[in-house]
Amino acid sequence: MENKDILSKVSDNASAQMLEKSRVDCVETCFDRAETQKAQCGFGKNGICCKVCHMGPCRITPKSPKGVCGADADTIVARNFLREVAAGTSAHSDHGRHLVLKLKHVAEGKAEGYSIKDEKALLYNAKLYGIEIENREKNAVALDLANLFLSEFSSQEDNLKTLELAPKKRQGIWEAKGIKPSGIDRMVVESLHRTSIGVDHDYKNLLMHAFRTSLSNGWGGSRIASIVSDILFGTPSPVRSAANLGVLKENTINILIHGHEPAISEILTAAVSSPDVKDYAKAAGAEGITLAGICCTANEVLMRHGVPLAGNMLQQELAIVTGAVEMMIVDVQCVMPGLVDVAKSYHTEIVSTTDMAKTIGAKHMAVGESNPLAAAKEIVKRAIDNFKKRDKSKVKIPKENEQLVAGFSVDAIKYMLGGKYRASFRPLNDAIIQNRILGVVGIVGCNNTKQKTDEYINVLTEQLIKNNILVLQTGCAAICSAKAGRLTPETALKTAGSGLREVCEAVGIPPILHMGSCVDNTRILEAAAEIVKEGGLGDDLGSLPAVGVAAEWMSEKAISIGCYFVASGVDVFLGNPFYTSGSENVNNYLHSGAAADFNACFHYCDDPLKAAEQIIEIINKARDALGINKTQERKLFDMKDRREL
């Protein structure tokens, strides 16, 4: 691969160096495989290939506008879309379910190695769901909460209780449209039923169920996952750390954790810092152990322990190409099967830890229910044993290693804004009303080999903060800003607009807030619901000057996330398109018609600068509707103002 080709694929220098090294080492990565997959199937891209029964596969063309059963493009495209939403919903929600079961086992005294780390979060959430907390043992409260959450998965007729955390007006919209979900599992099963041969053929009916299913993710499975993670592992608060492949070290044992579910990575974090494991590493001739993360497992342990970020989605193979990784420990989601082949060229071992996610060629070492800490230590010691196999001639660690601040849970933001005794969103609402902050944009999602990594996210983020828009980030998008050095107040404030800078400096927050993993997108909704509750910016999520962006998305999870944002009233920009263009009706509904139902829809824009302009236009329209789009008297928000609050 020529240097200019490499620079057209990745934005950061560390990735470029490793991509170049992969060429020298004759290692194939996703960037090479993307080349060999270049002529991608047009039927797949347009969503007009159907194989839900074995009379097919049927493909829609002008000459054959209907499948064997008579299904047209609208039906086929809508069915495919709903199946993607169902898959995304199931991934996030199953993650949530595993955590709820862990909470249940903790409450029953059956989960060795785990405990309730954040009792305040337990009591706060139990109260939120109407569970009695006075004079009760915390385990009894936790058991009730876990059982309530399990019923959110299994409920057959009742609507999800978690929906009640949304503003009343939005709940009314869901009721009126008939899309209030009942149990999460039922929504996913019904999605598969409806899309099987000969069931639901009305594209609009299928799409409405897509939105209903997504709500069972955003206001169900994902929200529950974030709540339970906070209870079991602690609610994140601001923490300093570092990002990019330069966090790996020449003289330490380098272990990467990759995937999504925090239960295993929490135990691994504990194992790495235990004295016997540290001594074992020293005895192996290393200066210590460097634990770092990839993708959203990285975000989980960064938010709670300050574990550094080695990289985002498309850096998972490049991290191994450094030649300095003793082991990559994986759990679920976004883990490429290609890792095993890359690892063969170095001494790296890939270890899978959960029975539901195995890869041929990876060593499987389950971290189960019985003595998980011992299992985690065994894995880490195996990584240490691997250190002696490292071939120094193959080691090249890029220098890139940017400082960052992360850990902005909703609780932490409230605390930063209002202080310990008056934690509140009021100062943010006032700053928006007074036009110091124009609006809020959530930038979420992945990297995609179809786009130069990180570029869309970086360009858009810079434009937005320049225009006084507070940016909330999660997932691999947040890792992208971290690598660009934009997650410290010091660097980000240099490019922020004057109003945003004033507010951020007064309350001590950066203009780009890292709020967690991709499951934590619900923290963005939680923050939006808090802003509505605080008052002065309308009575619905749909009235806020707020927009969501999935800039470089690739996963079915991102489609589900986009749908629950739109159904919640938040417009969503996509940096690459859905596979829906084969049906004008489906495409038009998603990209404009939905606005009549939800006051929000999807927008596809492949140019981040144009996207910034369109986002600002949407935000200004929302401000006009709220009657706050006039220049207010500009005034610094000082300590006196905060005390008066």
Tokens of 443: 């930038």
For residue 57, is the peptide bond before it cis, meaning its omega torsion is within 30 degrees of 0? Answer: yes
Q: How far apart are CA 526 and CA 536, in angstroms?
A: 17
Residue 549 Ramachandran class (φ > 0 left, ψ -120 to 50 alpha, else beta): beta
**What are the backbone dihedrals phi and psi of residue 345, each rounded to the nearest 5 degrees, phi first?**
-80, -5
Instruction: Residue 434: name its binding partner from ligand SF4, ligand MSK, none (Cβ under 5 to 8 Å by kind).
Output: none
How near is the Cβ of 52 to ligand SF4 at its closest, in Å?
5
Q: Which residues are within 8 A (CB) of 607 and not within 5 positions of it... i.e. 6 or more apart? A: none
Residue 192 binds ligand SF4 (CB under 6 A):
no
**For residues 47 and 516, which CB has a smaller minimum distance to ligand MSK in the complex?**
516
**x/- track of binding to ligand SF4 for residues 194-233 (CB under 6 A):** ---x------------------------------------
How near is the Cβ of 580 to ligand MSK at its closest, in Å?
20
Instruction: Residue 270: name its binding partner from ligand MSK, ligand SF4, none (Cβ under 5 to 8 Å by kind).
Output: none
Tokens of 463: 């434009």
How near is the Cβ of 49 to ligand SF4 at its closest, in Å?
9
Instruction: Residue 67: name its binding partner from ligand SF4, ligand MSK, none (Cβ under 5 to 8 Å by kind).
Output: ligand SF4
How near is the Cβ of 585 to ligand SF4 at its closest, in Å?
17
Residue 50 binds ligand SF4 (CB under 6 A):
yes
Q: How far apart are CA 529 and CA 517, in angstroms?
A: 19
**What are the backbone dihedrals phi and psi of residue 254, each rounded to the nearest 5 degrees, phi first?**
-105, 120
Q: How far apart are CA 495 and CA 511, in angstroms?
A: 9
Binder of ligand SF4 out of 16, 29, 67, 476 (CB under 6 A):
67
Residue 173 binds ligand MSK (CB under 6 A):
no
Q: How far apart are CA 295 and CA 95, in angstroms?
A: 15
Residue 295 binds ligand MSK (CB under 6 A):
yes
Residue 56 binds ligand SF4 (CB under 6 A):
yes
The three-class DSSP label of residue 48 is coil
Binder of ligand MSK out of 334, 460, 496, 566 (CB under 6 A):
334
Residue 296 binds ligand MSK (CB under 6 A):
yes
**For residues 67 and 259, which CB has a smaller minimum distance to ligand SF4 in the complex?**
67
Q: How far apart are CA 12 and CA 15, in angstroms?
A: 6
Number of residues that bind ligand MSK (CB under 6 A): 13
**x/- track of binding to ligand MSK for residues 502-531 (CB under 6 A):** ---------------xx-------------
| The one segment of 52-60, 299-307, 341-349, 376-384 that binds ligand SF4 by CB under 6 A | 52-60
Instruction: Residue 548: name its binding partner from ligand SF4, ligand MSK, none (Cβ under 5 to 8 Å by kind).
Output: none
How near is the Cβ of 231 to ligand MSK at its closest, in Å?
21
**For residues 50 and 82, which CB has a smaller minimum distance to ligand SF4 in the complex?**
50
Residue 140 binds ligand SF4 (CB under 6 A):
no
Strand partners, 405: 240
**Region 531-570 residues binding ligand MSK, contact defined as CB under 6 A:** 555, 557
In what helix (H) or strand (E) does residue 417 lie, and over which residues does it extend? helix 410-418
Instruction: Name which of 248, 187, 242 is nearest 219 in CA terms.
Output: 187
Residue 332 binds ligand MSK (CB under 6 A):
no
Distances (CA, A) of 275 to 256, 282, 440, 464: 20, 11, 45, 46
Q: How far apart are CA 311 and CA 319, in angstroms?
A: 8
DSSP 294-359: EHHHHHHHHHHH-PPEEE-GGGHHHHHHTS--SEEEE-SSS--TTHHHHHHTSS-EEEE--TT---
Contact 326, 384 (CB under 8 A): yes
Binder of ligand SF4 out of 33, 51, 282, 635 (CB under 6 A):
51
**x/- track of binding to ligand MSK for residues 442-461 (CB under 6 A):** ---xx---------------
Residue 179 binds ligand MSK (CB under 6 A):
no
Q: Is the dihedral of CA 98, 316, 554, 237 positive or negative?
A: positive
Instruction: Residue 557: name its binding partner from ligand SF4, ligand MSK, none (Cβ under 5 to 8 Å by kind).
Output: ligand MSK
How near is the Cβ of 220 to ligand MSK at its closest, in Å?
18
Residue 180 binds ligand MSK (CB under 6 A):
no
Instruction: Residue 55: name its binding partner from ligand SF4, ligand MSK, none (Cβ under 5 to 8 Å by kind).
Output: ligand SF4
Tokens of 268: 């691994």
H-type alpha helices, 198-294 = 203-216, 222-233, 262-272, 275-283
Residue type, 542: G
Residue 68 binds ligand SF4 (CB under 6 A):
yes
**For residues 58 and 619, which CB has a smaller minimum distance to ligand SF4 in the complex?**
58
Residues in touch with ligand SF4 (CB under 6 A): 50-53, 55-58, 67-69, 71, 76, 197
Site residues (CB under 6 A) for ligand MSK?
Answer: 260, 295-296, 313, 334, 445-446, 475-476, 517-518, 555, 557
